[in-house]
Structure 1
Amino acid sequence: MSLEILGVLLHRNASEISRGGGPAFDVDMIEKMARAFDENDFDRVLILQNSFAPDPFAIANYAAAVTEKLAFMVAHRPGFIAPTMAARMFATLDNLSGGRAGVHVITGANDTELECDGDFHTKEERYHRSAEYVEIMRKVWSSGTPVDHNGTYYRFNKALSELKPVGGGAIPVYWGGSSPLALEKGAEVADVYAIGGLKPLDQMASTVAQIRDAWARTGRPVRIQTSVRVIVGETEDAAWRAAADVVEALRETALEQQRKIAGSDEALSTGMRLDPKLATTKGGSGREELEAIAGGKDLLDKRLWTGITKASVSFSTPMLPPALVGTAEQVADAMMDYYAMGITGFLMRGFDLYGDIALHGRDLIPTLRRLAAEHDARVGLSETQPV
């Protein structure tokens, strides 16, 4: 199977436990992080989009210019740019980067946050629109003649892009969402399904089965990816001390935000919003699932730790999925349980965004690649065989 290791490239060195300081938009740090990802064997990075963040296209183009092999998963929300124009924008990025572009379609789980940019469609309408949007981009990427379209959300005549993706193919489309409609529409148009975070193995196996069933009905292949929060230490004791520090930092950050709410109308940190209606992570059914996990044991399976999930409930912060805690070898071994069920992409992130890149590149990523190769050899899979 083909293992893909991904990171998150933000516009500054920040995480949920950041207490402020430094520029809000740090160009030097963008370059440092992009180069660090490139040098530490990450395959691809996600560049986020929401209603308050800088433009991910611009960041991707800048990062492409300062890296050599790092690929990009640019988050993109249908509805604000015409799909014909978006197709040309992604084709341009793909050519400027030498074939390293990818699009992560963000349909959006939170109505309140979408309304910040003037999108008042329902969640169901947005999923139908996203599927039509991707279909249009694929037509524009592949067609050598002008394309007409008369759909539910888009209508145009004679659309054409003279620039095609590198090699004349298509740009990989990543997709997420936990509802039956998200699975149905994703199975029609997407290449990779992204699960928002780790779950206990039995729950994750059920999710993987649902994804496979949805794609099987369309006859299309699918690759499955998940986000992984990791807390890695030189020893297991060091990792658990670091985990305790994260919980304390979450508590302190939440108290700081509460003081801001009580004392003034000062805008809240976009990294730690206390109002669940404005939280851009884990709204809707995803939040309910995480709250249920937080109500259970502290440690699940080999080393899936729910401490940060419990803390995010207790401190009224945006919901955080459970994390894997341990040495690089222990964390990689736990990740292989997910790999064995067919999850071949891991978007890894700790709580020190820049500092963790080299740590993961030195210890965790080589171990992951070795264990994945050993697994594939045992079960007789080639490195590029689809799952």
Structure 2
Amino acid sequence: MTFRTIDLIEPEFGWYMPTRGDGPYIGVKPERVVDTAYMIRVAQAVEEAGYTFALIPTGGACTDAWIMGATLAAHTKVFKPLIAMRPGLIAPALAARMGATLDEVTGGRALFNIVTGSSAEDMKAMGDPLAFDKEARYERTAEYIKIVRQLWINSHNVEGNTLLANRSKEKEIERLDFSGKYFSLEGGVSYPAPVQRPHPPFYFGGSSVAAKRTAAEIADVYLMWAEPLDWIREQIEEVEYHRERLRVSQGIGRTIRYGMRAQVVIRDTEEEAWAAAKRIVSKVDPATLHETETRFLHAESEGQQRQNRVRQLAAKDDYVIGPNFWAGLSAIRGGGAMAFVGTPDQVADRLIEYIDIGVSSFILSGYPNLEEATLSGPLIPAVRRKLRERAASGQKISVS
């Protein structure tokens, strides 16, 4: 057993943009028209509630994350769009230029979520040649992000917006030559330089061994779907193991933050919160429930299989995993479906338990996302108030 000491880190709070549909119930057709005007309303509500960023999903029936993210940033002040960057679908040098441009036009508000893969059907539909080869996709992702990251770092060698106006400035930027298994680049250059230094952060998730090994190389924030505390601690330690191996074998020392994706249902009283949570699944019919559960059980994603196991273990207790923690949505909603249910103070206590083991980034959501962003807003000051009270003691946490 190993121990490490972590500092209590000021957490960041993000929300989720429901580009594939929104409404108060799941397991039925989304009740609301989700167009650009609606997304702007959600983004502005998210910002007003105190969230600083939002995950914009990709694949399936989602709108394009890049264009939606740029649009939402134009209608907000501090809102940071967490954009899906998909290796294999956009050339890395072009993605670097697009990403740096987005960071420049938003004044340094661009964040990037590295999406290595999704369902095989989605990847086939998008023309990904590695739709059925997960190990190869992670290898490709590592190459891809190394290229994008280095192009961004190199681009800071250019002073001001001068590269195109004065071509003599080109000699001031270190050009990138790269020859890998999946990508090659000769004299690669990206412009403009991103506002954030050394580059905008990369968020990255995946529960397989290959994903965690890749995270050690490229992730600034490693994302997990909400699970019981011990399970999350175990995942963090696995990534830390690969990070340490990278340091020992290659001399590469990296710092990784940890994040968690979850649902929240927050009300003034715990009784009101649980009633609201149960309403979300009140309209699903048995046929839909059976079909969805069967599909989840056969999912290739290790993360989804972990969500399945949490749900199965909690089934005998009406899907209550622990205090204020519920798996009831996970039989219908895939991915990050585990929900924290209760008052702002109760849910704050639960999240602080995760902060204590190293989680510092939370991406939350609720049904419907527009109203729930506002209703959940009191959670953020509750967490910060409780952390300030603890920080007075200079507390650090030893994690096993």
TM range (shorter): 0.7 to 0.9
The one-letter code of the counterpart of 1:306 is A
> What secondary structure does 2:13 align onto?
strand
- CA drift of 1:358 comes to 1.1
Match of 1:20 among 25, 30, 33: 30
- CA drift of 1:212 comes to 1.9
- CA drift of 1:352 comes to 1.3
- CA drift of 1:243 comes to 1.8
Distance in 2 between the 1:19 and 1:104 partners?
Answer: 27
Match of 1:364 among 365, 375, 379: 379
Distance in 2 between the 1:249 and 1:194 partners?
Answer: 31
Distance in 2 between the 1:21 and 1:236 partners?
Answer: 27
Residues 1:305 and 1:224: Cα distance change in structure 2 (over 3 Å): same
> What is the alpha-carbon root mean square deviation over aligned residues?
2.4
Percent identity over the alignment is 31
- CA drift of 1:302 comes to 2.3
TM-score, length of structure 1 as denominator length: 0.85
- Contact 1:49 1:76 (8 Å CA) reproduced: no
**Is 2:215 the partner of 1:186?**
yes
Match of 2:191 among 162, 169, 178: 162
The one-letter code of the counterpart of 1:307 is G
Distance in 1 between the 2:197 and 2:302 partners?
Answer: 39
Distance in 2 between the 1:27 and 1:253 partners?
Answer: 33
Q: How does 1:170-249 map to 2 (within 5 A)?
A: 170-195=199-224, 197-218=225-246, 219-249=253-283
TM-score, length of structure 2 as denominator length: 0.82
> What secondary structure does 2:261 align onto?
strand
Q: How does 1:1-387 map to 2 (within 5 A)?
A: 1-11=9-19, 14=22, 17=26, 19-23=29-33, 25-121=34-130, 122-143=133-154, 144-195=173-224, 197-218=225-246, 219-251=253-285, 254=288, 276=295, 283-297=300-314, 298=317, 299-309=320-330, 311-312=331-332, 318=334, 321-361=337-377, 363-380=378-395
Distance in 1 between the 2:221 and 2:336 partners?
Answer: 22
Distance in 2 between the 1:274 and 1:203 partners?
Answer: 22
- CA drift of 1:169 comes to 2.2
The one-letter code of the counterpart of 2:240 is R
> What secondary structure does 1:10 align onto?
coil
Structure 1 segments (4+ residues) deviating >6 Å: none
Residues 1:20 and 1:179: Cα distance change in structure 2 (over 3 Å): closer
The one-letter code of the counterpart of 2:126 is D
- Contact 1:230 1:350 (8 Å CA) reproduced: yes
Unmatched segments (≥5 aa) in structure 2: 1-8, 155-172, 247-252
> What secondary structure does 2:83 align onto?
strand
- CA drift of 1:13 comes to 5.5
Distance in 2 between the 1:39 and 1:376 partners?
Answer: 26
Distance in 2 between the 1:246 and 1:91 partners?
Answer: 39
Match of 1:261 in 2: none
Distance in 1 between the 2:41 and 2:313 partners?
Answer: 39
Unmatched segments (≥5 aa) in structure 1: 259-272, 382-387
The one-letter code of the counterpart of 1:369 is R
Q: Deviations over 1:115-135 (max 9, x none)?
A: 121213111111111111100
Residues 1:108 and 1:278: Cα distance change in structure 2 (over 3 Å): farther
User: How many residues matched?
Assistant: 356
> What secondary structure does 1:166 align onto?
coil
- Contact 2:264 2:376 (8 Å CA) reproduced: no
Q: Deviations over 1:222-260 (max 9, x none)?
A: 1000012111122111111112212213448937x98xx
Residues 1:55 and 1:274: Cα distance change in structure 2 (over 3 Å): farther
Residues 1:136 and 1:89: Cα distance change in structure 2 (over 3 Å): same
- Contact 1:6 1:45 (8 Å CA) reproduced: yes
Match of 1:264 in 2: none
The one-letter code of the counterpart of 1:343 is V
- CA drift of 1:156 comes to 2.1
Distance in 2 between the 1:245 and 1:82 partners?
Answer: 44
The one-letter code of the counterpart of 1:370 is R
The one-letter code of the counterpart of 2:136 is E
Distance in 2 between the 1:214 and 1:302 partners?
Answer: 32
The one-letter code of the counterpart of 1:240 is W
The one-letter code of the counterpart of 1:145 is E
